[in-house]
Amino acid sequence: MQTNFTLAQLADPDTAASNQVLRTCVHCGFCTATCPTFVLLGDELDSPRGRIYLIKDMLESGRPATEEVVRHVDRCLSCLSCMTTCPSGVNYMHLVDHARVRIEQTYRRPWHERGLRALLATVLPRPGLMRAALIGARLARPLAAFIPGRSMPAQRLRALLALAPAHVPSPSAIEGARVHAAIGPRRGRVALLAGCAQQVLDPAINEATIRLLTRLGVEVVVARGAGCCGALTHHMGRHDPAMASARANIEAWCREADGEGLDAVIINASGCGTTVKDYGFMFRTDPLRAQAERVSGLAADITEYLARIGYAPTRAAPGLTVAYHSACSLQHGQQVTAQPKALLRQAGFTVVEPAEGHLCCGSAGTYNMMQPEIAGRLRARKLANLEATRPDVVAAGNIGCLTQLAGGALPVVHSVQLLDWMAGGPAPAALAGVSHD
């Protein structure tokens, strides 16, 4: 597609990168069809192609972001379904990330939005704060019914409270930086991104991951100094805190890699995985570039790594049907689609897939808090499609999806919990009510 940047504009590396993305787009419109917001809202402006056009106009004009651009870019889930669809290979992710930074720099949001975004950006990446906030939200949950009105702030407040789990788990006994030794002869050594929100919302996921890996002979390091991957703030356009988080991780993992060595950096929340795999690009003009690229190269989803080293169940098949929900960050962001299903089948489950598997469930990081109406419609649509497959349990590889889909008619677990269970770990708590062989 034709672009109109001045040479001065193109001297900025971010603009130059976006120009390249825009030049790749041929405006064919294939992406519209698989975009969740276009399917729901039926407006070009809420499609990837429309947003690309709005972003192009914003960047070319050099003007500050306007309310219209912000409204439509904010509605983007960053599910990246468009990137799977795009025949031309347009890197929409980098373009929209750039747009979000530009918006954050040039647009002043209403006070309530600024407050909420600051709150989320502060709380979510910090497990201690997050746990406290969840307990508070749980206590306040009954109040949700008394928040009146259809205004965006009211909707968001209700959504925040509704998302708080009824039960806030206690911190895991294995939380914190340490080395989990391999059981038996050591055949590998990996770092685990312990994450931030996930270890508060569902510590069982990291426990299952570590149990399974160590039982397979892999030493698991939760590196000192590593923490939130930076995705949450990155997607809010908060460049500096995102880079700070990423930098801490890169340095921590490179220390480990240079020390005892690392075969991989394991990520079991695919939303984080997409960002870690993009560190190389994020630091493309930074002195840390080589290290960032190294970390991105090491990054692997837990299912990618398991498929690489081999997995075998030790228990008899439980006779359960698993509806595999493909998290957007995994299927679109990282193009990891076959491994999770293959592993679950290997583990002895019958695996089914819902219709419209390419559509986002509405979780999308903080999206379900910022855009509750659209997120709610996507959730309902996803649950209906999942229920239509008549499974015993839903499995997914991302904590955001697990939280979003919980509370429906079906138990929802992380894929790794099922794999761990069949390899000798405990049955996932969510399956307590499900009868199995």
Partner 1 sequence: MIAQPAPKRDVLARRDSIVAGLRALLPETGVIAEALRLKPYETDGLSAYRQVPLAVVLPETTEQVAAVMAFCHREGVRVVPRGAGTSLSGGALPMEDSVVVGLMRMNRILDIDYADRCAVVQAGVTNIGITQAVQGRGFFYAPDPSSQLACMIGGNVNMNSGGAHCLRYGVTANNLLGLKVVTVEGEVLEIGGAHMDAAGYDWLGLLTGSEGQLVVVTEVTVRILRGPEGARAMLAAFDSNEIAGACVDSIIASGIIPVALEFMDRPAIHACEAFAHAGYPLDAEAMLIIEVEGSVAEQDDLLEKISQICRKFDPISLKISQSAEESLAIWKGRKGAFGAVGRISPDYLCMDGTIPTSRLPEVLRRIGEMSMSYNLQVANIFHAGDGNLHPLIMFDANDPASFEKAEHFGADILRLCVEVGGCLTGEHGVGVEKRDLMGVQFSETELEQMRRVKSAFDPGWLLNPSKVFPLKADAA
Q: Determine if 68 is a binding residue for partner 1 (CB under 8 A).
A: yes
Shortest Å distance, C-beta 89 to partner 1: 5
376, 138, 329, 394: CA torsion to nearest 10: -80
* Position among 17, 31, 266, 300 found at the interface with partner 1 (CB under 8 A): 31
* Position among 17, 21, 45, 236 found at the interface with partner 1 (CB under 8 A): 45
Q: Within positions 78 to 107, which residues make up the interface with partner 1, using CB under 8 A?
A: 85-90
x/- string (CB under 8 A) for partner 1, residues 186-225? ----------------------------------------
Give the span between the Cα atoms of 140 and 132, in whole angstroms: 12
x/- string (CB under 8 A) for partner 1, residues 350-369? -----x--------------
Q: How far is CA 40 from CA 33, 150, 172, 374, 376, in A?
A: 10, 19, 40, 8, 11
- Residue 63 DSSP code: P
Shortest Å distance, C-beta 172 to partner 1: 40
Number of residues that bind partner 1 (CB under 8 A): 37
* CB contact at 8 A, 223 and 191: yes
339 Cβ contact list (under 8 Å, min separation 6): 301, 303, 304, 306, 307
Complex with partner 1: residue 30 or 281, whichever CB lies closer? 30
Q: Within positions 1 to 20, which residues make up the interface with partner 1, using CB under 8 A?
A: 1-3
For residue 205, which phi and psi values (nearest 5 degrees)? Answer: -70, -45
Q: Determine if 38 is a binding residue for partner 1 (CB under 8 A).
A: yes
Computed on alpha carbons and rounded to an integer, the radius of gyration of the chain in Å comes to 21
For residue 429, which phi and psi values (nearest 5 degrees)? Answer: -60, -35
* Position among 14, 44, 175, 251 found at the interface with partner 1 (CB under 8 A): 44
Shortest Å distance, C-beta 48 to partner 1: 11
- Residue 410 DSSP code: S
Q: Which of 27-35, 109-117, 292-300, 400-408 is the region at the interface with partner 1 (rule: CB under 8 A)? A: 27-35
Complex with partner 1: residue 45 or 416, whichever CB lies closer? 45
β-partners of residue 207 are none
* Position among 53, 92, 311, 324 found at the interface with partner 1 (CB under 8 A): 53
Q: Determine if 294 is a binding residue for partner 1 (CB under 8 A).
A: no
Q: Determine if 387 is a binding residue for partner 1 (CB under 8 A).
A: no
- 55 Cα distance to chain centroid: 23
Give the span between the Cα atoms of 263 and 89, in whole angstroms: 30
Q: Which of 24-32, 111-119, 148-156, 175-183 is the region at the interface with partner 1 (rule: CB under 8 A)? A: 24-32
Q: Determine if 33 is a binding residue for partner 1 (CB under 8 A).
A: yes
* CB contact at 8 A, 70 and 113: no
- 204 Cα distance to chain centroid: 18
* 239 CB neighbour count, 10 Å cutoff: 20
Complex with partner 1: residue 39 or 229, whichever CB lies closer? 39
Q: Determine if 149 is a binding residue for partner 1 (CB under 8 A).
A: no
Complex with partner 1: residue 35 or 413, whichever CB lies closer? 35
Q: Determine if 43 is a binding residue for partner 1 (CB under 8 A).
A: yes
Q: Determine if 332 is a binding residue for partner 1 (CB under 8 A).
A: no
Shortest Å distance, C-beta 359 to partner 1: 12
Strands lying side by side in the sheet with 188-192: 178-180, 218-222, 188-192, 264-267, 299-301
* Position among 15, 18, 34, 417 found at the interface with partner 1 (CB under 8 A): 34
Give the span between the Cα atoms of 345 and 368, in whole angstroms: 31
Q: What does 383-397 look like in DSSP terms, one character per residue?
A: HHHHHTT--SEEEES
Q: Determine if 23 is a binding residue for partner 1 (CB under 8 A).
A: yes
Which chain residues interact with partner 1 by CB under 8 A? 1-3, 23-34, 38-39, 41-45, 49-50, 53-54, 57, 66, 68-69, 85-90, 355
